[in-house]
Structure 1
Amino acid sequence: MNTGNLRKRIAVIGAGFSGLSAAAYAAKSGNEVHVFEKHDRPGGRARQFVTDEGYVFDMGPSWYWMPDIIEDFFADFDCKTSDFFSLVSLDPQFEMVFSKEKVSVPENNEEIRKLFENIEPGAARQYDKFMKSAQFKYEVGMKEFVKKPCYSWFEFASLKIAGSTLKLDLLSNFRTYVSGYFTDPKLKSLMEFPVIFLGASPKQIPALYSLMNYGGYVLGTKYPMGGFYQLVLAMKKVAEKQGVHFHFNHDVQKINIEKGKAASLTIDGENYEFDAIIASSDYHHTETLIPKSLRNYDKAYWETRTFAPSCLIYYLGIKGKIPHLKHHTLFFENELDNHIDCIYKNKKWPSKPLFYVCCPSKTDPDVAPEGCENLFLLLPLAPGIYDDEQVREKYLTEMLERIEKHTVETDIISRIDYKKSYCVSDFISDYNAYQGNAYGLSNTLSQTAVLKPKIRNKKITNLFYTGQLTVPGPGVPPSVISGKIVAAEVSKLKIK
């Protein structure tokens, strides 16, 4: 019998962030690693496409937060992000549009303090207190808490984590927590909005996730020149340097089980044998590739989970410039709770939606033809909701009208040079995403750590899962960490 430290032949299903990370770490441990990706390029939800007109669109992530966590990945391979791409700090980091005014969050932390003080007397001091606590949560949460495989609560018994339980505010909800620091509605919105990325109402998210505010506001909002896809390409290069083999346009149809082990993958009618399999693909979809009796979770389990939103996305090329639009803009003229209720309670298209606009051409001239703008519009939606071109167009018109009002521009719609929509049904067809979710499971207390879907199949000893539906959760940095966690677990696996 071979021991766990001998060379294994490992398959990774999917080349998203968690798959790229898992592949790189598994190969670094001396294994033969093959990545199978159904699309023609790596990245998963973070793919990029270029139009005939010359627009370069990142399809998914656009907020480069927690740069130190991403830097840690490259440091593990004796390199750094600057070896692959140039990171710039955005100033302002973003702008938030309210019904009667707008607030721009500056790059400099001292300027953020002044902004808060101008909005609410005494808020600068409260901001300092909030961020001091958030920094502690970040250092324990992102450096210790999220790095556990989460088989058992005993993993969190270390002195640093166990002794920090109260200070981590796991049992407080984020909304109540924020209200303990600020009273002005605008400041509350500024502090609450980052947890939207975690896929639940601020009333349902543990206050632990104030670490997001520190990872964003204090560490700053960055942008990789050339687009977010530069991070994907950089991680692929790191993986290839470790010897990883990539196979694109290879869609896995079945995981074949023999004597309690995943013996091979069926791809385009051919079987490929492996010692272990890491699934970076959608967790629910992955389990449909094995017999029902061997799945970790049944249909009822998935139906009772709280999923993060899906979304309506528009990729727009605009002729001419839009002078008063920032790189990141959040349109919060309407009530956050009304929109959230449409996602989690009523599961319908919102009547008064909030949405987000990214205009990377403000920072990067190479993502649009000269004199033009590149727009990425995102409106969060309930997963599983019905979408068609007619309803997509209805919301596009509303979003563009609100952008026109904000920027004092009256002809953006008539200047559309390129247009592509992406919604619930596309997430399902492209990524096999359960109910078309865009961000994975919500980070509610009942779906945190050990309570998330397990990273290892309970009945198939050499089948592992990674990505946003397992630990540590949704987001780019957590997905990168997820890959590292699962690669470490596979390295312990003993093979015959």
Structure 2
Amino acid sequence: MTARGTVCVVGGGIAGLATAALLAQDGWSVQLLERGSELGGRAGSWSVDGFRFDTGPSWYLMPDVFDHFFALMGTSAAEQLDLRLLDPGYRVLFEGRSEPFEVSASRAENVARFEALEPGAGRALEDYLASADEAYAMAVDHFLYTSFEEFSSLVSRQVLLKGRRLAPLLLRSLESFVAARFTDPRIRQVLGYPAVFLGSSPDRVPALYHLMSRMDLADGVLYPQGGFSTLVDAVADLAREAGAVLHTDAEVTAVLTDPPARRGARATVRGVRHRDASGDEHVVEADVVVGACDLHHLETQLLPPPLQTYPESWWSRRDPGPGAVLALLGVRGELPELAHHTLFFTRDWAANFDDVFTARRVPEPASAYVCRPSATDPSVAPEGHENLFVLVPVPADVTLGHGGVDGAGDPRVEQVADAAIAQMAEWAGMPDLVDRIVVRRTVGPADFAADLNAWSGGALGPGHVLKQSAFFRAGNASTKVDGLLYAGSSTIPGIGLPMCLISAELVLKRLRGDTSTGRVAAPILKEAAS
């Protein structure tokens, strides 16, 4: 078999690994360069004293996207991962209320639980989820799996017929869409919280994103035993099996180009320069370079100004999404007060989001998320101990500082972590929690910037406000350099593990000249490249 050409993928997060896997499977000769000593990027892990912590994604949503990716590679999620359905999917604790609310793995049960909170809310939820089902199907069929190269492909009869219903969902906020259907503030918070998965707030994301609620309220929430590093390992192994060569400790310092052949033409990519762990520099020649790292870093640091599609002036008008303070805690004894996923919602919901996204200060008190994977997976903590991952959304602001081990982080980061731990202990009824902590590590926005080159220290990527959604988001190809493509959370279709897998498929489609809006037929057959 003759290779289609050579590809260098910059970045070994899930988007880079998936891109390397799909392109190698499609017959390209692929090398991947990851600056860190381990693969995974944001989907990293940290192990100490018998604990193993996921340091990034912890929700397995949109299982059909994972299923499709694995099918492209000739396998399945069931073969690659040991997935468990969580029930409850998650628990919510509300400030000032003693009773928690649990989201079930059953759609029908969730309808009943909404009805118990507010008369008529059960039927309203059924209608809400029916609309979410329709919006999700529309997104998958027409908007997620396209690079928007040909807008004519989006103007299908189906899209036009549903346009009257689609347009209002883009022109109003998720918050107002929910408020028009439900009165109880707890329901409004549960339905508005998916905006955080999108790197924004309920009053800033379009109502179209109510489609997110079908994922937890209808599809259920899954968890891969062993943690999300098992997903990273599975994708990396598939990439290697397909022929991709994966390098760690290889920091790309420049994207190399050849000048235009004639006036008015574009430059052409010819590879990258990278530095190894010893400080020696090397050049990797390539016909195609895929930037699967932070797009702001690649564009503003690895390309000269004349070749930047997205220069600093472009980013200055964009929203980096939220930052985060993380606390990785090993705790002695059991914590049945917490579910696998537990959300802590403050009473003044609007003020919490305004602090993060408008005033750019740490909320007090702050809504928080806690993952207790040891509730499901005994491999992540020593016997008789629990594993907690605490995430507090804060502004994407590197001046908040770095985290550290055993309280050694910068003061503002440690203060945020201390407040979250105290709040969690009080609200969930665990008064001795602090005394039972045997392992503690914090991570701050400055760590996201230093370790991942994350723009502004953002934890997720550019938020999905309207001007950063769909075809308004950064595209996946340079307009100044032929052969330079992009994947990952900075570009289309967006943030989160499923979106990163789709972004990898969009690179494959672009290289194939496929401008359709649908998914690539599975499996990819290598013989097609011969």
Please classify the TM superposition score into its range, dividing by the shorter chain length. over 0.9
Contact in 2 for aligned 1:277/1:463 (Cα 8 Å)? yes
Q: Is 1:266 aligned with 2:273?
A: yes
Q: Is 1:319 aligned with 2:332?
A: yes
* Counterpart residue number, 2:53: 57
Distance in 2 (alpha carbons) for counterparts of 1:427 and 1:28: 31
SS at structure 2 position matched to 1:342:
helix
Distance in 2 (alpha carbons) for counterparts of 1:419 and 1:332: 23
Question: How far did 1:189 drift?
Answer: 0.6
Render the CA deviation track for 1:250-281: whole Å, top value 9, x for unaligned.
Answer: 11011111121111211121111111100001
Quote the sequence identity (%): 32
Question: How far did 1:405 drift?
Answer: 1.7
* Counterpart residue number, 1:88: 84
Larger mean CA deviation between 369-378 and 343-352 belongs to 343-352
- Specify which of 297, 304, 315 is matched with residue 310 of structure 2: 297
Question: How far did 1:172 drift?
Answer: 2.4
Structure 1 gaps of 5+ residues are: none
* Counterpart residue number, 2:374: 361
Q: Is 1:309 aligned with 2:306?
A: no
Contact in 1 for aligned 2:93/2:428 (Cα 8 Å)? no
Render the CA deviation track for 1:185-220: whole Å, top value 9, x for unaligned.
Answer: 111111111111112221221111111101222110
Distance in 1 (alpha carbons) for counterparts of 2:317 and 2:152: 26
Distance in 2 (alpha carbons) for counterparts of 1:162 and 1:253: 46
SS at structure 2 position matched to 1:417:
strand
Question: How far did 1:166 drift?
Answer: 2.9
SS at structure 2 position matched to 1:356:
strand
Distance in 2 (alpha carbons) for counterparts of 1:442 and 1:323: 34
* Counterpart residue number, 1:29: 26
Contact in 2 for aligned 1:321/1:373 (Cα 8 Å)? yes
Question: How far did 1:9 drift?
Answer: 0.5
Amino acid at match of 2:66: I
Render the CA deviation track for 1:120-153: whole Å, top value 9, x for unaligned.
Answer: 1111110110000100111111343111102354
Larger mean CA deviation between 150-159 and 84-93 belongs to 150-159
Contact in 2 for aligned 1:151/1:450 (Cα 8 Å)? no
- Specify which of 99, 108, 111 is matched with residue 110 of structure 1: 108
* Counterpart residue number, 1:40: 37
Larger mean CA deviation between 404-413 and 204-213 belongs to 404-413
Amino acid at match of 1:29: D
Distance in 2 (alpha carbons) for counterparts of 1:284 and 1:251: 16
Question: How far did 1:25 drift?
Answer: 1.4
Q: Is 1:177 aligned with 2:177?
A: yes
The residue correspondences of 1:65-464 to structure 2 (distance < 5 A) are: 65-99=61-95, 100=97, 101-151=99-149, 153-168=151-166, 169-259=169-259, 260-268=267-275, 269-287=281-299, 288-388=301-401, 389-464=410-485
- The 1:215–1:144 alpha-carbon spacing in structure 2 relative to 1, beyond 3 Å, is farther
Amino acid at match of 2:508: A
Contact in 2 for aligned 1:26/1:488 (Cα 8 Å)? no
Distance in 1 (alpha carbons) for counterparts of 2:111 and 2:125: 7
Render the CA deviation track for 1:449-477: whole Å, top value 9, x for unaligned.
Answer: 22111211111101011111110011111
Amino acid at match of 1:412: L
* Counterpart residue number, 2:405: none
Question: How far did 1:158 drift?
Answer: 2.2
Question: How far did 1:404 drift?
Answer: 1.5
SS at structure 1 position matched to 2:438:
strand
Larger mean CA deviation between 380-389 and 302-311 belongs to 380-389
TM-score computed with the length of structure 2 as normaliser: 0.90
Question: How far did 1:6 drift?
Answer: 6.1
Contact in 2 for aligned 1:137/1:167 (Cα 8 Å)? no
Larger mean CA deviation between 318-327 and 354-363 belongs to 318-327
Distance in 1 (alpha carbons) for counterparts of 2:211 and 2:66: 16
Question: How far did 1:438 drift?
Answer: 1.3
Structure 2 gaps of 5+ residues are: 260-266, 276-280, 402-409, 515-530
Contact in 2 for aligned 1:151/1:454 (Cα 8 Å)? no
* Counterpart residue number, 2:5: 8
- Specify which of 488, 491, 508 is matched with residue 467 of structure 1: 488
Render the CA deviation track for 1:423-452: whole Å, top value 9, x for unaligned.
Answer: 110000111111011111111112222211
TM-score computed with the length of structure 1 as normaliser: 0.96
Contact in 1 for aligned 2:325/2:417 (Cα 8 Å)? no
Amino acid at match of 2:21: A
SS at structure 2 position matched to 1:401:
helix
Question: How far did 1:162 drift?
Answer: 3.2
Distance in 1 (alpha carbons) for counterparts of 2:141 and 2:31: 29
Render the CA deviation track for 1:283-309: whole Å, top value 9, x for unaligned.
Answer: 011112011010002212101101210
